[in-house]
Amino acid sequence: MSNHGYNPPQIDLLSKKLSKYFIVKSFSNKINKTLRLFHMISGVCLNYNRNTIILIDTYSHYAFYYALICSILCRVLHIKYIPILRGGNLPFRIKRNPYLSKVIFGNSFHNVAPSIYMKKYFNNCEYKTKYIPNIIEINGYPFQLRTKVRPKLLWVRSLHKSYNPRMAIEVLAKLSKIYPDSKLTMVGPDKDGSLSSCINYAKNLKVDKNINFTGKLEKQEWINFSKKFDIFINTTNYDNMPVSVIEAMALGFPIISTNVGGLKFLHNDEVDAILVDKNDVVSMVNKIDLLINNQEIVKTLSLNARKKAETFSWNNVKNSWLDVLN
């Protein structure tokens, strides 16, 4: 069950893979919040039996309450359920709503965390949690070895303040003083009005001519589009196990990311990515400059990123899911 409501590729992909072993039904991808909740509740009530296990994509924003309602319904109907801990800010939610969190996570069949970071946090809160990483179809990501790179930056996330898109614009502004031909493309849908804010911010910093906002692209579109770019940046304030970053690794991008949440467990600094402190614009610019002037580092990052991404293939992850569900 997805309570995300936009484009839930992980739950869709997981459903597809699990359907080879189980009967799988998915609810709900409806954008309207009321219809989505109704679809999820009716899906549970009309399709369960004593062998049913409900997987609930669980986020830290308003969709947290969808997970709460579904978990209570599962308990009433005596159905096993497994929250999949997607939300990067779930630790904040646990602190803010400890009782409601206990209702969901303290009564589940299992809790599944896609990052070691989230697993450790939940285990420290005495919620028994198993680490099963996100998956990608690795063959769908053509590897492009990067060596000599230009200041052509790619950023792929939803435009939301939690992902700190303004930092990416600040990076572009400072980088443009060193390399006037610097370009930044930001791929992703507007989630909270950040798009208009970012457009105005780019104008204020006088880099609006150097930046492109594509809006939401389908996966294959942005994979094809990515061939034009050389460096992938991730500027988030908190995170879990971002699929867009794993995808960038699979494509062979040298990645520079903020060192928050699950990213410090996903990456080995200066081995398969470069990590900088949250909001540290100067360090990110300096690291981009380093990559532009050091082909060997770029090549190492590109090769190691792809190697790391291959560990997230279904063949490497499926036994963990089968162990949990059987």
Average pLDDT over residues 241-256: 96
Kindly report the average pLDDT of the chain as a whole number. Answer: 93
DSSP string over 2-43: ----S--HHHHHHHHHHTTTS--------SSHHHHHHHHHHH
- pLDDT reported for residue 1: 56
pLDDT at 99 over 50: yes
State yes or no: pLDDT of 174 exceeds 80: yes
Q: How far lies 208's CA from each of 46, 184, 188, 215, 233, in Å?
A: 51, 10, 17, 16, 18
User: Which carries the bigger pLDDT value, residue 187 or residue 40?
Assistant: 187
pLDDT category of residue 69 using cuts at 50, 70 and 90: very high
The distance from CA 124 to its chain's CA centroid, rounded to whole angstroms, is 23
Q: Is the pLDDT of residue 6 over 90?
A: no
Mean pLDDT of 215-225: 90
Alpha carbon separation from 85 to 33, 206, 294, 314 (Å, rounded): 20, 39, 38, 19
Cα–Cα nearest to 88, from 233, 241, 235: 241
3-state helix, strand, coil in the chain (%, to 5): 50, 15, 35
Question: 3 pLDDT exceeds 70?
Answer: no
**Residue 316, CA distances (Å) to 136, 187, 188, 259, 270 in order:** 11, 29, 29, 26, 24
Report the pLDDT value the prediction gives residue 5, as an integer from 0 to 100. 39
Q: What percent of the chain has pLDDT over 90?
A: 83
Per residue in 14-29, pLDDT (tens digit) is 999 999 999 998 887 7
Domains of the chain and any CATH numbers:
9-132 (no CATH), 138-311 (3.40.50.2000)
